[in-house]
């Protein structure tokens, strides 16, 4: 147990947690702009289904960074947040050259489980391409086991983000 406490205290607190800039947030949604490039698409210029998952993860990592949690620092001190559940609904295909906004926010935190919600929409917000949810859990990388609790810095930042 002492090792887990040490692990949590090693995650650097960032001044962003204190300031919590909501420049990229609206209604608790973090917004991450993307563009569908040729390597995201099939021969017909339609975005490959897996590209959406990559954008969702990029948005989640950027959201964490915006609240002071650098994912690389988290991993460096031995904590990982792997996906344990994923649900997506494709509404409409993005096409090569189109821009969109990946919106994400946490909707539930219980113990070491964090549930993120996603919407990928047109820049104007009038077209929804995808909706989804992803559940993560905190894992001690060295032990390969689920942690007993979220690192304090992560939990505090996520709670503050939801306020």
CA torsion angle 122 41 118 105 (round to 10)? -90
Residue pair 113/81 in contact (Cβ under 8 Å)? The answer is no
Q: Which of 42, 70, 108, 126 is catalytic?
A: 42
80 given a catalytic annotation: no
Residue pair 100/92 in contact (Cβ under 8 Å)? The answer is no
Q: Which residues are catalytic?
A: 42
């Amino acid at each position: 147990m002492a090792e887990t406490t040490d692990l949590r205290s090693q995650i650097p607190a960032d001044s962003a947690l204190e300031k919590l800039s909501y420049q990229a947030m609206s209604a608790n949604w973090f917004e991450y702009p993307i563009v569908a490039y040729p390597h995201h698409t099939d021969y017909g210029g339609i975005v490959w289904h897996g590209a959406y998952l990559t954008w969702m993860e990029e948005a989640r990592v950027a959201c964490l960074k915006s609240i002071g949690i650098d994912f690389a620092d988290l991993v460096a001190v031995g904590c990982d947040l792997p996906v344990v559940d994923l649900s997506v609904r494709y509404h409409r295909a993005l096409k090569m050259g189109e821009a969109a906004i990946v919106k994400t926010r946490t909707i539930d935190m219980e113990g070491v489980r964090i549930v993120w919600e996603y919407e990928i929409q047109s820049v104007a917000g009038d077209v929804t391409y995808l909706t989804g949810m992803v559940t993560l859990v905190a894992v001690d990388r060295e032990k390969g086991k689920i942690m007993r609790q979220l690192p304090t810095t992560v939990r505090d930042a996520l709670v503050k983000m939801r306020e």
